[in-house]
Amino acid sequence: MPNLNITHQTADRFELQVRGHRLLCDQPVTDGGGDQGPTPTELFVGSLAACVAFYARRFLARHDLASGGLRVEADFTMSTDRPARVDTITLRLIIPQPLAPTRRRALLAVVDHCTVHNSIRTPPHVHLTLTEPADAGVGAHRSLGLSG
């Protein structure tokens, strides 16, 4: 299981590290950030779009169909009520060539069950712990947990 680490850089900018990759996450200037990377919410929507693209490419390859030019466009809206959350996500899967109706239905069925989409439909259990110094003069830490 990949271990992701998110480290504060400055202001609202954080660095995400996973498997040797680094990605900056920030807020737009209009929201007080430095706009050095996508927001966490954009990463969330982007992960769904990337998962759909991955599953689509695998489907096309399995059926010996070209994948050059394959892309996914994503739009999202935020809910107007609380709690703050994404309300709707619209994905447009753009394929390089027309498909027969049966292949089209099969492709849509495959991408509709990508791992990220499945994880949204059946939410994971999230366990959050807070680790803080046990004593300002000692390097030991203590953890407090919260599950939801």
CATH number of the domain bearing residue 86: 3.30.300.20
Shared-domain flag, residues 43 and 77: yes
| Residues 6 and 56 occupy one common structural domain | no
Question: Where are the alpha helices (H) located in the chain, listed in sequence order?
Answer: 40-62, 101-111, 115-121
DSSP string, 27-70: --GGGTS---S--HHHHHHHHHHHHHHHHHHHHHHHTT---TT-
One domain, residues 50 and 86: yes
- Kindly state whether residues 33 and 78 are assigned to the same domain: no
| Segments of the chain scoring below 50 in pLDDT | none
Tell me what pLDDT residue 141 has: 63
Provide the number of structural domains found in the chain.
2
Q: Which domain holds residue 133?
A: 39-147
Contact 129, 145 (CB under 8 A): yes
Q: Would you say 51 and 116 are in contact if contact means Cβ atoms under 8 Å apart?
A: yes
Question: What separation in angstroms does the CA of 144 have from each of 8, 43, 106?
Answer: 21, 27, 46
Residues of the chain above pLDDT 70, percent: 90
* Residue 62 shares a structural domain with residue 129: yes
- On whether both 24 and 57 belong to a single domain, the answer is no
Both 25 and 55 in a single domain? no
pLDDT at residue 148, as a whole number: 64
Tell me what pLDDT residue 133 has: 82
